[in-house]
Amino acid sequence: MKPFTDILSRYQSWLIALLLSLGLIWIFANRVAEAGNQLAAVSQPYEGFTAPDFDFTDSSGNIVKLSDLRGQPVILNFWASWCPPCRAEMPAIQSVHQVNQAQGLVILGVNATDQDSIEQVQEFSKDLQLTFPILYDSSGVIQSLYNVTALPSTFFIDRSGIIQEVIIGGPIAEALLEINAKQILEEKP
């Protein structure tokens, strides 16, 4: 009787064809029927999930929910005035805000006010002429909702309220911000 290895080498081509056919069957058997819907039903601060909801006060003094912005893409940037990479990426964020505001992009700068001072934040915003809304997270509730463990942390949320991308750390290059902004702007609800 021939050794097992001899039999294997004699029928190599057939074994490879069988293996690849099984691979194709496995791919088709594991197709996803409804793309992404299962994840979107759950609210978590990670890619593919619905962005956790929170309230904030807009520039007119009205209380707005993040979920009220559905239909508009949102960039959430967590930052502090003492954090060098946060400061370094702010001009790029402001530039992306100016370029894409008319297309409906909303940028919210969530300041980690529990570890910052409002005076310094206001001075910094004035120096850089930031025109997008700055939210003061004095109690750290929003940071906790988004599991923010490092600053800056940036979340790109599409028109349906789904987180498409999370970037921890920085400074983020202006081109990367712009490419991600364009992706969430192009995403249809």
Partner 1 sequence: MLPTLQIGPLVIQTPGLLLLLGLWLGLSLAEKHVNKHAIAANHIYSFTFLALLTAVVAGRLLHVIRNWGVFSDSPASILSLNPGMLEPFGAILGFTIMLIVFTKRYRYDPWTLLDALAPILAVLMIAVSLANLASGKGYGYPTDLPWAVPLFGEARHPTQIYEMLAAGIVLVVLWPGRRWVKSRPAGVYALSLIAATASNRLIFEAFRADSALTNDGIRSSQVVAWLVLAVALWLSLKIARKDGQDIHR
Residues in the site for partner 1, rule: CB under 8 A? 9, 12-13, 16, 19-20, 23-24, 26-28, 30-36, 38-39, 42, 44, 46-49, 92, 95, 149-151, 167-169, 172-176, 178-179, 182
Q: CB 102 → partner 1: shortest distance, Å? A: 16
Q: CB 172 → partner 1: shortest distance, Å? A: 6
Using the minimum distance from each CB to partner 1, give the nearer residue, 56 or 100: 100
Using the minimum distance from each CB to partner 1, give the nearer residue, 92 or 121: 92
Which residues have a Cβ under 8 Å from the Cβ of 106 and sit 6 or more positions away?
69, 72, 73, 74, 75, 132
**How is residue 6 written in tokens?**
């001899």
CA distances from 37 to 12, 23, 46, 82 (A): 42, 26, 15, 39
Using the minimum distance from each CB to partner 1, give the nearer residue, 19 or 63: 19
Using the minimum distance from each CB to partner 1, give the nearer residue, 48 or 140: 48
Buried b (16+ CB within 10 A) or exposed e, 8-32: eeeeeeeeeeeeeeeeeeeeeeeee
DSSP state of 187: -
Q: CB 179 → partner 1: shortest distance, Å? A: 6
